[in-house]
């Protein structure tokens, strides 16, 4: 009987362990399923939020573009008009080659003005994307040139005086050739002005 109780206790013990293992496995599966569902929900929500942010940014950009489109168009139109007037002046002095170049430029500017007035920002960005895909080398060169110009602009902007220090602003506005040189003693000495010989 004792042997039977021992083997029966083990069987009971094994059944309990088996039920605990099964319950733990089921609980683990439930947690995994809930985690997957939560992950899918987070991804879906993140995608919706990102889409809403992009849509909002595109709407705002389009609104700003529409607001400033006429101003841009008038500036481009003035450029074309100035080129056309210069071309007429060049024709008057018989500089026909330069005049024809400016007339062609004026026509291109007019076409650009019409394009800007007729297209939405989305259309312009789509056309720009198509151009980049078709002309990768030209696009890379253009981006390099834009980056170079932007860097030069930022560099020159950073070198301008802030106007906080009156002495600093005065020195910065003075031409380089007219600044005072420090003497060996450390004091600033004004440079001598050179005089040009006058008529005799």
Q: What is the pLDDT of residue 193?
A: 56
d(CA 76, CA 118): 14
Opening angle at CA 100, ends 75 and 149, nearest 5: 45
The answer to the question of residue 126 being in a domain is yes
Q: Which residue segment(s) compose the domain that 150 sits in?
A: 122-157
Residue 14 pLDDT more than 70?
Answer: yes
DSSP letters spanning 11-22? HHHHHHHHHHHH
d(CA 92, CA 126): 42
Region for residue 112 given its phi and psi (left: phi exceeds 0; alpha: psi -120 to 50; beta: otherwise): alpha
Compute the average pLDDT of residues 27-49. Answer: 86
The answer to the question of residue 89 being in a domain is no
The answer to the question of residue 18 being in a domain is no
Residue 170 pLDDT more than 60?
Answer: no
Q: What is the pTM of this model?
A: 0.42
- Retrieve residue 117's tokens: 């007035």
Write out pLDDT tens, residues 96-154.
Answer: 888 898 889 889 888 888 888 888 888 888 888 888 888 888 888 888 888 888 888 88
Q: Report the interhelical angle of 121-134 vs 2-92 (nearest 10°).
A: 90
The answer to the question of residue 71 being in a domain is no
Tally of domains in the chain: 1
Q: What is the pLDDT of residue 171?
A: 47
Compute the average pLDDT of residues 67-87. Answer: 85
Q: What is the pLDDT of residue 22?
A: 85
The answer to the question of residue 170 being in a domain is no
The answer to the question of residue 143 being in a domain is yes
The answer to the question of residue 81 being in a domain is no
Q: What is the pLDDT of residue 189?
A: 58
d(CA 38, CA 36): 5
Q: What is the pLDDT of residue 2?
A: 43
Report how far apart, in Å, the C-alpha atoms of 134 and of each of 122, 128, 139, 141, 191 are.
Answer: 18, 10, 9, 14, 59
pLDDT band for position 160 (cuts 50, 70, 90): low
Residue 168 pLDDT more than 70?
Answer: no
Residue 4 pLDDT more than 80?
Answer: no
pLDDT band for position 198 (cuts 50, 70, 90): low
Compute the average pLDDT of residues 162-172. Answer: 49
- Name the range with the highest mean pLDDT among 10-24, 136-150, 175-189: 136-150
d(CA 155, CA 153): 5
């Amino acid at each position: 009987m004792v042997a039977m109780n021992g083997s029966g206790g083990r069987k009971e013990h094994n059944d309990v362990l088996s039920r605990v293992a099964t319950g733990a496995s089921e609980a683990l599966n439930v947690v995994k399923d809930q985690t997957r569902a939560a992950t899918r929900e987070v991804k879906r929500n993140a995608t919706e939020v990102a889409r809403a942010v992009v849509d909002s940014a595109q709407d705002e950009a389009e609104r700003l573009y529409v607001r400033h489109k006429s101003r841009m168009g008038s500036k481009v139109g003035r450029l074309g008009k100035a080129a056309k007037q210069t071309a007429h002046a060049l024709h008057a002095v018989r500089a026909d080659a330069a005049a024809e170049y400016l007339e062609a430029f004026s026509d291109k500017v007019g076409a650009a003005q019409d394009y800007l007035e007729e297209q939405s920002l989305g259309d312009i960005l789509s056309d720009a994307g198509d151009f980049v895909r078709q002309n990768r080398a030209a696009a890379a060169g253009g981006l390099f040139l834009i980056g170079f110009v932007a860097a030069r602009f930022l560099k020159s902007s950073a070198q301008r005086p802030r106007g906080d220090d009156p002495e600093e602003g005065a020195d910065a506005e003075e031409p380089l050739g007219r600044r005072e040189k420090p003497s060996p003693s450390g004091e600033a000495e004004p440079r001598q002005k050179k005089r040009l010989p006058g008529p005799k």
